[in-house]
Amino acid sequence: MTLTRQTATHRQPDLFGAPILPGLAYADALVADGEEIALISHIRGERLTPFQFQQWEGKRLTASFGWTYDFQTGTFARGEVLPDWLLPVRARAARFAGLLPTDLEQALLIEYGVGAGIGWHKDRPVFEHVVGISLGAPTAMRFRRRTEKGFERRSADVLPRSVYHMDGEARNDWEHSIAPLVAKRWSITFRSLG
């Protein structure tokens, strides 16, 4: 599949009218409508398996390429090569983030069912840049960091076909999560190694 280059409108998410969260960049419309349908079809065509975290099984299906992290054993290892259909998408994600495509060595595909979300976490320390493409239902990405008085919180709307990039403070100092979804969503997340 050939992806045509779209001009993404770069903007920082409106985080409850608060100052911009340093290290979080966002753009609408990295992916066109027809491309979104094709990408979802490609994701569905991969060998997605239920997300496993220790003895729990998540309400989302995943597949990793380039590198894998096993939450059962804590093992980080080389994985399958990125499929060819992901390479043009990776190039656009890298361009958005100001990186080389080869910098984004890991790809994670996720299919979120209705009711699926992601709990509070930071991506594993072995990764540096996190660039995500959102497909299907819109969602809100929530951010929090511990302060002396509890948690400081932010939230950013993530629209279908959009892209976000976390590095620096947003990546290292804040946890992020996604609330349970009311409709199906898919994502492609690329990561660089630290």
Q: Where are the domains of the chain?
A: 12-193
Q: What is the pLDDT of residue 15?
A: 40
CA 7 distance to own-chain centroid: 20
The residues of the chain scoring below 50 in pLDDT are: 1-19
Q: What is the pLDDT of residue 138?
A: 94
168 Ramachandran zone, left/alpha/beta (phi>0; psi -120 to 50)? left
Q: For 101-120, give the DSSP string.
A: GGGEEEEEEEEEPTT--EEE
Q: What is the pLDDT of residue 55?
A: 58
> What is the tally of helices (H) and strands (E) in the chain?
3, 14
Q: What is the pLDDT of residue 69?
A: 72
What is the CATH class of 12-193?
A: mainly beta
Q: What is the pLDDT of residue 54?
A: 53
Q: What is the pLDDT of residue 37?
A: 95
